[in-house]
Structure 1
Amino acid sequence: MPSPDKETAPSTLPAGAVARDVERHRGANVARVRDAVAEEIPIAFVYNERPHAVMMATPADLQDFALGFSLSEAIIDHAAQCEKVEIVEALAGIELRITIPEKYAAVLDDRVRQLTGRTGCGLCGAQTLDAAVRHPARVVDVATIDALALKRSLNELQRSQKINAVTGATHAAAWAATQGRIVLLREDVGRHNALDKLIGAMLSTGTDSGGIDPHDGFLVVTSRASYEMVMKAATVGIGFLAAISAPTALAIALAKETNLTLIGFARAHGYSVYANAQRVLDQSAQIDRSIAS
């Protein structure tokens, strides 16, 4: 978290942060300074010229956002089916004009799902219970992670957040190798958006095969573990999620249903495992599993 007294030069700001004037009060002292704040604008998803969703998001890594959202919302099955993404600036925001095979675009018409997403809200606009709560297939071949690797990833996580370092206003979703090294990170004012951007980056870059293997590592997020975070992860085959804040009851239930290991309250000094604890190796722990299930 940046210091509230820190002033950042506009020329040094990362994409997704902008400079604004602020009147800063500290006791009896008042100063007018330039401050770094996170951008948040409407981003419209348009598939084959069909408007589908509008999300309030940070306008950075938009190609990743388009691909990740399309995959995590099960609009397409594979990255190659995202044939083209055109980023078009409009007066009110930005349009992501996405071209996918027509049979997948036609399915969107049947889903009758027009999302108006506020920051951190991905279910807004779902019109039926079936549309609101999806049940991804069970994940397979999930890596076993050592507790020391988890601690290492948490130490790297804060240092890797460039937008949050100057604004204090963004979430991050990061992919860590099994040893705990952060290999990819994306940020956004919305936690779901950050995860979508990460998923898009993972599945479009990295290995020679065209992406990072979602079975070879684990996901770390700077937010609570809501149902949607688990749903999006499981949909693309990620089977290990660690959040620095709490999970919800529905997230725990879905994690168990999809065979995903779910960790909450991940901190340098400890963590809580809510589902599939057998994949967490902790040599220093003295485990008491006598609690009734």
Structure 2
Amino acid sequence: MPDRPIQHAADGSTKTIEREWVPEVPVALEYNGLSYAVMMASPHDLEDFARGFALTEGLARSPDDITDIAVVEVEHGWIARAQLTGLGIEKLTERVRTRVAESSCGLCGIENLEAVSTPLPRVATHEALEPQAIFAALGKLRDHQPLTTATGAAHAAAFCAPDGAILQAREDVGRHNAMDKLIGALALAGQGASDGFILSSARCSYEIVEKAVRAGATRLVTISLPTSMAVERARAAGLSLWCLARDDSVLCVNNGAVPK
């Protein structure tokens, strides 16, 4: 049900308008019966979220390591549960044992500072991204953003074919969550992330770069500018990074493609 706040104009006039707020609720992520994190997220595509989060956190090496995903609404939010197998279990139990307070947009503690300096894997060899493909994807992105259309306050992450056709897209109140949901959706579909490119509506922080690389992406495009650490991490991993994407221009920050 839309809310009806009062809009105040500079000339002193007021009017009642209808607004729909972007949903934001606590989502607890549990793996193997252990509570790993509580994230503020939009309560849709939570199976994709649980799957993608496990992959980008290194709790699972492949989608086959993640089974029995179940999502349930509880009194104060949602719980997404999954079973993990493989080497990621060691990281799960170690994190639960030594967990420090942190948020999805920040770092706390010596363990996290050390983790940031861990080298990312090099991305796969790839061809250059054509700017026209980026413009094509931008022109179609709004068609894949129902939550943004309704609220004007959600982030989107999309996986695009080399020609800019959008193959998968996910939205969330959080930019990191939207990326995790997209990565989870790609994993479920058996779609590798190396052939096309990821388009994110968000600011390009180091976390967005790291999630893209860990998902196997080779090319990342963001609508906002990158941070210095995002640029550094992208260059070190060989990730092609394009930013400040607009309808008529885009900035190539790092071209990791192999020259023809």
**TM-score over 0.5 for the alignment?**
yes
Partner of 2:240: 261
Q: What is the Cα deviation at residue 92 of structure 1?
A: 1.7
Partner of 1:197: 181
Partner of 1:53: 37
The alpha-carbon distance between structure 1 residues 42 and 125, as it changes in their structure 2 partners (threshold 3 A), is: farther
Partners of 1:279 and 1:173 in 2: CA distance: 25
Aligned counterpart in structure 2 of residue 141 of structure 1, from 125, 128, 138: 125
**In proportion to residue count, which structure has more helix?**
2
Per-residue CA distance 1:39-61 (angstroms, 9 max, x = gap): 00111111111111111111110
The alpha-carbon distance between structure 1 residues 49 and 278, as it changes in their structure 2 partners (threshold 3 A), is: closer
Partners of 2:129 and 2:105 in 1: CA distance: 29
For 2:167, what is the secondary structure of its paired residue? strand
Are the equivalent residues in 1 in contact too, given 2:138–2:247 (CA < 8 A)?
Answer: yes
Partners of 1:143 and 1:102 in 2: CA distance: 33
Q: What is the Cα deviation at residue 253 of structure 1?
A: 0.9
Are the equivalent residues in 1 in contact too, given 2:127–2:257 (CA < 8 A)?
Answer: no
Aligned counterpart in structure 1 of residue 7 of structure 2, from 9, 18, 24: 24
Aligned counterpart in structure 1 of residue 154 of structure 2, from 140, 145, 170: 170
How does 1:35-50 map onto structure 2 within 5 Å?
Answer: 35-50=19-34
Q: What is the Cα deviation at residue 132 of structure 1?
A: 4.1
Partner of 1:291: none
Partner of 1:98: 82
Per-residue CA distance 1:201-257 (angstroms, 9 max, x = gap): 01111xxxxx11211110111111110000011012101001111011111111111
Q: What is the Cα deviation at residue 29 of structure 1?
A: 4.7
Normalising by structure 2, we get a TM-score of 0.90
Aligned counterpart in structure 2 of residue 246 of structure 1, from 225, 245, 250: 225
The alpha-carbon distance between structure 1 residues 153 and 102, as it changes in their structure 2 partners (threshold 3 A), is: closer
Partner of 1:74: 58
The one-letter amino acid paired with 1:136 is L
Partner of 1:160: 144
**In proportion to residue count, which structure has more strand?**
1
Partners of 2:99 and 2:54 in 1: CA distance: 13
Partners of 2:181 and 2:236 in 1: CA distance: 25
Per-residue CA distance 1:126-146 (angstroms, 9 max, x = gap): 552123454321011324321
Per-residue CA distance 1:251-271 (angstroms, 9 max, x = gap): 111111111001111112211
Per-residue CA distance 1:110-154 (angstroms, 9 max, x = gap): 24345643xxx3444555212345432101132432111111011
Partners of 2:256 and 2:179 in 1: CA distance: 23
Partners of 1:278 and 1:101 in 2: CA distance: 34
> Is 2:172 the partner of 1:188?
yes
Are the equivalent residues in 2 in contact too, given 1:81–1:101 (CA < 8 A)?
Answer: yes
The one-letter amino acid paired with 1:212 is Q
Are the equivalent residues in 1 in contact too, given 2:61–2:87 (CA < 8 A)?
Answer: no
Unaligned runs of 5+ in 1: 1-9, 11-18, 206-210, 282-293
Normalising by structure 1, we get a TM-score of 0.80
Partners of 2:149 and 2:4 in 1: CA distance: 18
Give the alignment's Cα RMSD to 1 decimal: 2.2
Per-residue CA distance 1:63-83 (angstroms, 9 max, x = gap): 100001110111100001111
